[in-house]
Amino acid sequence: MKVVIQRVSEASVTLEGKLYSSIGKGMLLLIGIQTDDTEEDIEWLTSKICNLRIFNDEKGIMNCSIKEKDGDILAVSQFTLMARVKKGNRPSYIDAARPETAIPLYKKFIQALSLEIQKEIKTGVFGADMKVHLLNDGPVTILIDSKNRI
């Protein structure tokens, strides 16, 4: 799994011109699920994301996790994170998991995040044409790949 983490002041998802979900201060997660991802990837990523110290403490130093700041999470599926662009100019998505594999893993990831931070996780709609709005705070943007843990 690949996850782009963006520290945000606010973020939202709109579908067909209507607000679907939104958060205040917290994280926007863009989630790409690969064909060989497992629940082990979910466990590792959940722990890493929820304990990542990217929020400022009282001295303005990034030293606090989302749990410590009681922040919100908006998680949006994004298969384009699996794009291969080495050959030609058209990205290949051969590494992206098919919906029958990706949807259950996406749902388990959302549940695991919710359990870890003890809050509801806001989401987009898997596979939908969404408009994602965010106000990046910092900016702080981090890419985590569960296949690259070392």
Q: Which residues are catalytic?
A: 78-80
- Contact (Cβ atoms closer than 8 angstroms) between residue 107 and residue 97: no
**DSSP letters of 57-77?**
-TTS-EEE-HHHHT-EEEEEE
Q: What is the largest CA-CA distance in the chain?
A: 48
Strands 62-64 and 130-145: unpaired
Number of CB atoms found within 10 A of residue 125's CB: 13
Tokens matching residue 107? 């749902």
- Contact (Cβ atoms closer than 8 angstroms) between residue 9 and residue 22: no
Q: Quote the crossing angle between the two packed helices 99-117 and 39-51, to the nearest 10°.
A: 40
